[in-house]
Amino acid sequence: ETGVTQTPRHLVMGMTNKKSLKCEQHLGHNAMYWYKQSAKKPLELMFVYSLEERVENNSVPSRFSPECPNSSHLFLHLHTLQPEDSALYLCASSQGRRVTGNQPQHFGDGTRLSIL
Amino acid sequence: SQQGEEDPQALSIQEGENATMNCSYKTSINNLQWYRQNSGRGLVHLILIRSNEREKHSGRLRVTLDTSKKSSSLLITASRAADTASYFCATGPNNAGNMLTFGGGTRLMVKP
């Protein structure tokens, strides 16, 4: 039990499909994050939510749309993706009411996304 | 731009040997964290060391931080095959509201 659960673990989709990734944390944390991990590249922060409000968006293309309905759940809605979007998408959470880089982050095991 | 950079990018050792990984960064930090990632899994937090600390231990892990050189090292003593993983450093900036920035990682292979 990692405390952060992501579903599905694997997803294959065509460029015209619409799908959603789900993340749930059972740790009572206030902040949740979406990261993209591509081969041979550092972890890229995509979105950050604190107490359900988005606090950071690192210029991610609009084909990625996040949703945070409450502090335990985070979604990433996908539509019209490109082959270069194939990657491991990781969700993380951390404590604290303010989002900073000063807390350990707890990660899920990710969704391996492949775009055909 | 990437804040933390690990060195080496890959390391292969025999079981029982020590493994040392280094991380360099560019701007001032509040803290530096080390994470491990096993193949196909998420990152696992190992140690957080604050900018006013010089050394920290956790089991077989020893982390040092030299803020004058803007560098940190992670030492794994008496390595085991189960230590095979990628190891990442992440820097927490001094500016409030700014996020952790991860390096590209060191891939460690421990041969039995």
- Per-residue pLDDT, A55: 80
Q: Check CB contact of A67 with chain B, cutoff 8 Å.
A: no
- Chain B positions touching chain A (beta carbons under 8 Å): 2, 30-31, 33, 35, 40-45, 48, 88, 90-93, 96-105
Residues in A closer than 8 angstroms to B100, CB to CB, are: 45, 101, 105
Q: Check CB contact of A87 with chain B, cutoff 8 Å.
A: no
**For residues A47 and A94, is the Cβ–Cβ distance under 8 A?**
no
The span from the CA of B19 to the CA of B15, in Å, is: 10
- Per-residue pLDDT, A98: 66
SS (H, E, C) chain B: CCCCEEECCEEEEECCCCEEEEEECCCCEEEEEEEEECCCCCEEEEEEEECCCCEEEECCEEEEEECCCCEEEEEECCCCHHHCEEEEEEEEECCCCCCCEECCCEEEEEEC
- Per-residue pLDDT, B1: 43
The span from the CA of B52 to the CA of A72, in Å, is: 33
CB contact under 8 Å between B99 and A98, yes or no, is no
- The mean pLDDT of A11-35, rounded to a whole number, is 94
Q: Which of B30, B41, B104 sits opposite A42 (nearest CB)?
A: B104
Q: Check CB contact of A48 with chain B, cutoff 8 Å.
A: yes
Residue of A43, A74, A111 best to disrupt the B interface, most CBs of B under 10 A: A43
pLDDT digits 0-9 by tens, A53-90: 888 887 899 999 999 999 999 999 999 999 999 999 99
